[in-house]
Chains A and B, each alone.
Chain A
């Protein structure tokens, strides 16, 4: 084999096709396209929701109607036509399965091809999977183990029915209905999602995870996730995404709310690999997500994300550090290729005393993609001794892509200590030369450098997920990552 140069890598990045593009044919129970009050009511009815929930959705819909789509992000795209989307789609074989054998074999096959077979998952070290296939959860494993500890882990529609007091108290408390355009839309039409409650003092014995998939043509996916960690509890939550190849743009507007009460800790990890669009920039998923966590006293929320997919990403997992001594963390790798555009980052809002936050963001852009980091660090006047460290590094491959950083730093307390640094670079010729000199060939050298570049974030992923994250990075950077 000849020398593997950066040009080869570039070429590979450009020609690499989306591996997970296939379409499962399952009879769907799909609503006609369009959005109005009736549709919102119908969704609510379909989910057999109580009246307060229907009202809540309608309120959100009222707000949404008055809002305009935000345009400040550093991305260009054809705006979705919200009246051309079907707002509900569910696999039609609705009854819940008790064991894996009852699940539609075609569906199982889908998961197998994604490399997340339930059997394997079951055998693997204690991962409970709540699979969301086109908005309705069809399988929940390890539920009994969790129930013993008093942990509630179910779909949000189930939670609305069975734990209304919890849902009513916390839903919209971190991301209000009128927070932003997409959050309002989500609040009005969310179809399903996950709900998780960890009781006081309980340490969740396993990593909780859900897999999302957009499947039905022309359906937007509106997930709603609510994670509540009660006092002194701990939970690690995983979320992973892949979506089939499709030419028309698909909209994904999820909302994730995390609540960490006094002394609790939530670790939320995401691997996102929605269909990024073809080499010519056609198609791909629009990912407009609102993720936010609230930290009470001594609580900690940690976001880790590996973003390799989606045509457009618009995502800012944030922490509101309300309680004293609370901690917020954000670790991110964003890889963009071809015509992908990502505008992602975080917000750390320091309100309590002695609050700390860390931001590590790594952007890798190749092809004709644009990769932006946009972050806010805000120190309120009462946040004494707040501490923040931010680091944003970008790696550029080729001169047709772009890397951008837009950090906002707002400080109104003199005791705050803020550090921000950003660098942009390419894989240096001298770095490769150094490796060559020591007998490491160019291919391995690139692998080494890219790996080293993203290591800080990869290390933060839970074991089970790190493997998958590596896999996804390989899709974009195959041949260079060992």
Chain B
């Protein structure tokens, strides 16, 4: 039985468990139809030209994990940002772990989507926002059909959230292979500020296939700072669909750090629905072995006077593959748009491959749009310079790579996170440097 058939038949069983009057009942039914019609994307689709899901679809994933998965805090302590106080929403094999989490309902809501979907109190929010930003493509629809659990963050107007929110999905490996479909809904009210860190972590070598959908709504003048840490085991694959709706003068920033996983696909879509929005998309990708990371970004400029900045850096070793497909669309009405896109890549091994496709689609004339894309190596002369001054080759190379990625790292606003990512990079490159960036 193919994974698609399995999902379709499990949907029928899944649907039986849910109350008929659930507000999203119809949305689910519509979504599964889309998935049934389109199936998993193949390389024939332009958007999936460089990424094949075939190797993932062969596994026999369990779709509904058994309930009794618990973790000791000390087992997973290192994955938290423990040196700073945070709200935590933690899921173990797709099930909420109240023991590891720290949620709140004090003025702001940081809790579970399952609660939000079922309690009448949240009904207006769910009706206004749920599935409004998500793309109606096959994978997002698949997630929508099975949407049950995930983080729910609601920040009312004029509220600055004083500590970051961590959303962590653990998979224990108690199942031979597991498919997870977390669904996050984040609504940030007018003038409100929030910082969120998202992480997917597998704790064993068993296969994990995560198809995650996150919807973020930034109301007027809202400020959303979102960090994605992707440093998973070599058997864990992630398809991340993040859709962001921005209202007037809002500012949204997404940083994606891809250091691991077997196959990672980031579909990151920004829709600027109001004037003077600001969007920032940045990423560092450092890969080795046969890892594959595909960044598929879209910034849709719909209203005038908006800005967007993209900066993606990639370092590819061994037989890894990197894909960057960045698209900037500027509609006719979106005059005075300032869109910038930058993608720099370094290949450090002969078998590594990079496929880049930076796209511009522009329908307005009074705009400033540019993109740049480079692929190259570490500068031999710079290496020689450092070596002539007594810096070992390995350290010299690492220094250059740090410098290369530093642009992106610099704009991380949480100092503790910056240190953490710094360590991840050092670990990845295999050196310890005597300084902190």
A-B contacts, 30 listed (Cβ < 8 Å)? A381-B351, A396-B364, A399-B335, A399-B365, A400-B332, A403-B360, A403-B362, A404-B362, A405-B358, A407-B356, A407-B358, A407-B373, A410-B356, A411-B347, A411-B375, A412-B351, A413-B347, A414-B348, A414-B349, A414-B352, A415-B377, A417-B377, A420-B358, A421-B372, A421-B373, A422-B370, A424-B367, A424-B369, A424-B370, A426-B365
> Would A397 and B365 be within 8 Å (CB), given that A403-B360, A414-B347 are in contact?
yes
Contacts of B298 in A (CB 8 A): none
- Please state if A408 and B377 are interface contacts (CB–CB under 8 Å): no
Q: Are A416 and B364 in contact (CB under 8 A)?
A: no
Across the interface, which residues of A come within 8 angstroms of B373, CB to CB? Answer: 407, 409, 418-421
* Total CB contacts across the A-B interface at under 8 A: 115
Question: Per-residue CB proximity of B326-359 to A under 8 Å, as 1/0?
Answer: 0000001001000000000101111111111111
Asked if A72 is at the interface (CB within 8 A of a chain B CB), the reply is: yes
C-alpha gap A415/B359 in the complex (Å) = 25
Does A24 make an interface contact (CB < 8 A)?
no
Main secondary structure on B side of the interface with A = strand
Given contacts A414-B347, A418-B376, contact A404 B366 (CB under 8 A): no
Q: Which residues of A contact B163 (CB under 8 A)?
A: none
Q: Chain B 3-19 against A: per-residue CB contact (8 Å), 1 yes, 0 no?
A: 00000000000000000
In the bound complex, residues from chain A placing their C-beta under 8 Å from that of B127 are: none
Docked pose: A420 CA to B359 CA in angstroms: 11
Whether the Cβ atoms of A416 and B355 lie closer than 8 Å is no
With A420-B358, A424-B370 as known contacts, state yes or no: A414 contacts B365, CB within 8 Å.
Answer: no
Q: Tell me the smallest distance from the CB of A336 to a CB of chain B, in Å.
A: 13
- A409 and B354 contacting across the interface, CB-CB below 8 Å: yes
CA distance A15 to B315 in the complex (A): 52
B202-244 with Cβ < 8 A to chain A: none
Whether A399 pairs with B360 at a CB distance below 8 angstroms is no
The answer to whether B365 and A409 touch across the interface, beta carbons within 8 angstroms, is: no
A124-154 contacts to B, CB under 8 A, are: none
User: Nearest chain-A residue to B325 (Cβ)?
Assistant: A408
Given pairs A394-B360, A424-B370, 7 additional interface contacts (CB within 8 A): A381-B350, A411-B347, A414-B349, A416-B347, A419-B374, A420-B358, A425-B369
- Rounded to whole Å, the gap between the CB of A150 and the closest CB of chain B is 43
B371 contact set on A, CB distance < 8 A: 405, 420-422
* Cβ–Cβ contact A417 & B365, under 8 A: no
User: Which chain A positions have C-beta within 8 A of B358?
Assistant: 405, 407, 420, 422
Considering the chains assembled together, what is the distance between the CA atoms of A415 and B348 in angstroms?
Answer: 8
Neighbouring A residues of B369 by C-beta, 8 Å: 423-425
A398–B46 touching, CB < 8 Å = no
Kindly provide the distance from the CB of B147 to the nearest chain A CB, expressed in whole angstroms: 33
Whether A398 contacts B365 by the Cβ 8 Å rule is: yes
Given contacts A405-B360, A415-B377, contact A399 B347 (CB under 8 A): no
Say yes or no: is B162 at the interface (Cβ < 8 Å to chain A): no
Cα–Cα distance between A399 and B373 once the two chains are bound (Å): 27
Are the C-beta atoms of A406 and B359 separated by less than 8 Å?
Answer: yes
Q: How far is the CA of A414 from the CA of B350 in the complex (A)?
A: 5
Tell me the A292-317 residues at the B interface (CB within 8 Å): none
**Shortest beta-carbon contacts, A-B, top 7:** A414-B347, A396-B365, A418-B375, A409-B356, A420-B373, A424-B369, A423-B370
A interface, CB within 8 angstroms of B: 72, 381, 394, 396-426
Min distance, Cβ A14 to any Cβ of chain B, angstroms: 14
Q: In the assembled complex, which residues on chain B have CB atoms less than 8 Å from the CB atom of A416? A: 347, 375-376
A404 pairs with B374, CB closer than 8 A = no
Q: How far is the CA of A72 from the CA of B370 in the complex (A)?
A: 24
Contacts A396-B362, A419-B374, A424-B362; is A410 near B347 (CB within 8 Å)? no
Q: Are B354 and A399 within 8 A (Cβ)?
A: no
**Is there an interface contact between A409 and B360, defined as CB atoms closer than 8 Å?**
no
A218 → chain B closest CB, angstroms:
35
Closest to A373 in B: B360
B335, chain A: closest CB distance, angstroms: 7
Q: Which of B418-436 contact A (CB under 8 A)?
A: none
Complex contacts, A406 vs chain B, CB 8 Å? 357, 359
Q: Which residue of A lies closest to B376 (CB)?
A: A417
CA distance A404 to B364 in the complex (A): 11
Give Cα distance in the complex from A381 to B353, angstroms: 9
Q: What is the CA–CA distance of A400 and B366 in the complex, to the nearest angstrom?
A: 12
CA distance A425 to B369 in the complex (A): 7
A381, A400, A420: which has the most chain B beta carbons within 10 Å? A420
Which residues in B have their C-beta under 8 angstroms from that of A394?
360, 362
How far apart sit A412 and B369, CA to CA, in the bound complex (Å)? Answer: 29
B49 to nearest A CB, angstroms? 8
Q: Which of A399, A401, A407, A417 has the most CB of B within 10 A?
A: A399
Q: Say yes or no for B137: interface residue by CB 8 A criterion.
A: no
Q: Which residues between 354 and 400 of chain B lie within 8 Å of chain A, taking CB atoms?
A: 354-377
CA distance A242 to B284 in the complex (A): 51
CA distance A396 to B374 in the complex (A): 25
Chain A residues with Cβ below 8 Å from B351 are 381, 412
- Give bound CA distance, A405 to B377, whole Å: 25
Could you say which residues of chain A place their CB within 8 Å of the CB of B335? 399
Give min CB distance, B289 to chain A, whole Å: 16
The smallest beta-carbon distance between A383 and chain B, in angstroms, is: 11
Nearest-neighbor residue (CB-CB) of A371 within chain B: B362
Q: How far in angstroms is the closest Cβ of chain B from A347? A: 14
Most chain B CB within 10 A, of A394, A397, A398, A408, is at A408
Chain B, Cβ-Cβ closest to A395? B365
CB interface residues, B 100-143, toward A, < 8 Å: none
Q: Are A424 and B360 in contact (CB-based, < 8 A)?
A: yes
Task: Tell me whether A421 and B365 are in contact (CB under 8 A).
Answer: no
Does B354 lie within 8 Å of A411, measured CB to CB? yes
Taking a contact as CB atoms under 8 Å apart, the answer to whether A418 and B332 are in contact is no
Q: How far is the CA of A413 from the CA of B375 in the complex (A)?
A: 10
Asked if A421 and B357 make an inter-chain contact with CB atoms under 8 angstroms apart, the answer reads no
Write out the residue numbers on chain B whose beta carbons fall within 8 Å of the beta carbon of A421: 370-373
B363 touching A72, Cβ below 8 Å = no
Q: In the complex, A417→B354 CA distance in Å?
A: 12
Q: Given A399-B335, A409-B355, A414-B347, are A426 and B366 neighbors across the interface (CB < 8 Å)?
A: yes
Taking CB as reference atom, which chain B residue is nearest A384?
B350
**A413 is contacted by which of B350, B364, B365, B368 (Cβ under 8 Å)?**
B350
Q: Collect the chain B residues with CB atoms within 8 Å of residue A426's CB.
A: 365-367
B370 to A, closest residue via Cβ: A423
Q: Do B377 and A414 touch (CB < 8 A)?
A: yes
Of all chain A residues, which has the CB nearest B358? A407
Cα distance A72–B371 in the bound complex, in angstroms: 23
The CA of A297 and the CA of B118, in the complex, are separated in Å by 70
Q: Which residues of chain A come closer than 8 Å to B355, judged between CB atoms?
A: 408-411
Contact among B366, B367, B372, B375 with A417 in the assembled complex (CB-CB below 8 Å): B375
Which residue of A is nearest B345, CB measured? A411
Measured between alpha carbons, how far is A309 from B362 in the docked complex, in Å?
A: 21
Q: How far is the CB of B302 from chain A (nearest CB, A)?
A: 14
- What does the 1/0 interface line of B134-173 toward A look like (CB < 8 Å)? 0000000000000000000000000000000000000000
Mask of B31-65 contacts with A, CB within 8 angstroms, 1/0: 00000000000000010000000000000000000
Name the A residues within 8 Å of B345 (CB-CB): 411
Most chain B CB neighbours (cut-off 10 Å) among A400, A411, A415: A411
Measured between C-beta atoms, what is the minimum distance from B258 to chain A in Å?
18
Contact between A402 and B361, CB atoms less than 8 A apart = yes
Q: Who on chain A is nearest to B378 by CB?
A: A414
Q: Which residues of A contact B349 (CB under 8 A)?
A: 414
CB neighbours of A396 from chain B (8 A): 362, 364-365, 367
Residues of A within 8 A of B347 (CB): 411, 413-414, 416
A409 & B362 in contact (Cβ 8 Å cutoff): no
CB proximity of A180 to chain B, nearest CB, Å: 16
Whether A404 lies near B361 (C-beta < 8 A) is yes
Report whether A411 and B370 are in contact in the complex, using a CB–CB cutoff of 8 Å: no
On whether A422 and B360 interact (CB within 8 A), knowing A411-B347, A413-B350, the answer reads yes
A400 proximity list for chain B (CB < 8 A) = 332
CB within 8 Å for A409 and B359 given contacts A424-B367, A424-B369, A426-B365? no
Minimal Cβ-Cβ distance residue in B for A406: B359
